[in-house]
Amino acid sequence: MDFLPIFLNIRGRNCLVVGGGEVAARKTTLLLKAGAQVRIVSPILNDELNNYLQSGSIVYYAEAFDPKHLSNVVVVIAATNQPSVNQRVSEAANQLNIPVNVVDDPTLCSFIMPSILDRSPMLVAISSGGASPVLTRLLRARLETLIPEAYGRLAHYAAKFREHVKRHFTSPEKRRLFWEKMLQGPFAEMIFSGKDLAAQAYLLRSLEHGTDESLHGEVYLVGAGPGNPDLLTFRAMRLMQQADVVVYDRLVSPAILDMVRRDATRIYAGKERDKHVLPQESINHLLVRLAKEGKRVLRLKGGDPFIFGRGGEEIET
């Protein structure tokens, strides 16, 4: 590794940004989100930084950089368009052993600003060590599709009940197994669906009586659209990855079916004119039976299940 990936706690601490333009504003926004006290050194400020100044969010020094600006600072970012100034900032910070980042110049950096996927309190940081910032942004975009916003809420509730679970299970191994079941099962799905109170009740009930998954089967009705995987919603992709059983129609394209969890049981229920593999009534009862067995069932239909399919009947059953 060229850089050690770490997460710094800068809440309430002084951080210095040298520069007053667009790039400096982006870095300032990140520092403020992390709770830092931000100082800006630059002869001029752009509109965004001026807004921060007017709101009292930053401290501003309308002057050229001087090493005196590094007093009582824990992190420095040089974001000017003048290489000589950036180099002076880097040299002065390194002499004082203060972590320094020089935008777009890895050779002058003691740390790299990664591309960040923010699901607070969950954070995913991606870096190429300065080799290809564009590639890190593309990878982050790919991860955006796999990690929904609700993972932040899931982490919040895991933290909330962490000590409660720790008191209940004295064995680290038992705690690990319990959290694996919670974070991949009905508890997580309730959080993702916004059923926070039901999720809390389920977790507490599971602590007292164990996690009897046989009581918690569910059916997800998903429309696969016109067949292009790029048009699936984030939630559809997540449900496809966690289903135990997939009941799918003839109109579901192979490319879509390839995105289903590899070890899920696949049941073909395709219907063509005058040729039904499973009659509709049989499909309805199949979904109910599988759910009662504790399975997470994905009913996958091509197109819109309420236009091309009989989704209403299946929901009613």
Helix (H, G, I), strand (E, B) or coil at 249: coil
Q: Could you identify the residue written with the tokens 């969950």? A: 122
**Catalytic residue check, 249:** yes
Instruction: In whole angstroms, give the CA distance from residue 267 to residue 304.
Output: 20
pLDDT at residue 213, as a whole number: 47
Query: Among the options 105, 181, 195, 271, which is catalytic?
Result: 271
Please answer whether residues 113 and 101 qualify as being in contact, where contact means their C-beta atoms are separated by less than 8 angstroms. Answer: yes
User: In sequence order, what DSSP letters do the residues of 166-228 get, joined into one string?
Assistant: HHH--SHHHHHHHHHHHHHSHHHHHHHTT-HHHHHHHHHHHHHH---GGG--EEEEEE-BTS-
pLDDT above 70 as % of the chain: 94
Peptide bond into 121 cis (omega under 30): yes
Angle, nearest 10°, between helix axes 172-184 and 151-160?
Answer: 150
Residues of the chain with pLDDT under 70: 210-216, 271-277, 307-310
pLDDT at residue 130, as a whole number: 81
Q: What is the pLDDT of residues 12-45, one digit of tens each?
A: 999 999 999 999 999 999 999 999 999 999 999 9
Instruction: In whole angstroms, give the CA distance from residue 293 to residue 264.
Output: 15
User: In sequence order, what DSSP letters do the residues of 50-93 get, joined into one string?
Assistant: HHHHHTT-EEEE-S---GGGGTT-SEEEE--S-HHHHHHHHHHH
Query: Among the options 244, 249, 295, 301, which is catalytic?
Result: 249
Instruction: In whole angstroms, give the CA distance from residue 277 to residue 272.
Output: 8
* Number of CB atoms found within 10 A of residue 312's CB: 11
| The amino acid at 41 | V
Q: What is the pLDDT of residues 203-257, one digit of tens each?
A: 999 988 765 544 567 899 998 888 888 888 878 888 888 888 999 988 898 999 9
Q: Domains of the chain (ranges plus CATH)?
A: 14-113 (3.40.50.720), 115-144 (3.30.160), 151-215 (no CATH), 218-316 (3.40.1010.10)
Q: Secondary structure of 110-146 in the HEC alphabet?
A: CCCCCEEEEECCEEEEECCCCCCHHHHHHHHHHHHCC
Closest CA to 146 of 227, 229, 203, 226: 229
Q: Which two tokens stand for residue 183?
A: 């974070």
Torsion of CA 306, 259, 219, 151, to 10 degrees: -110
Bridge pairing between strands 271-272 and 265-268: unpaired
pLDDT at residue 52, as a whole number: 97
**Catalytic residue check, 271:** yes
- Phi, psi at 236, each rounded to 5°: -60, -45
Helix (H, G, I), strand (E, B) or coil at 108: helix
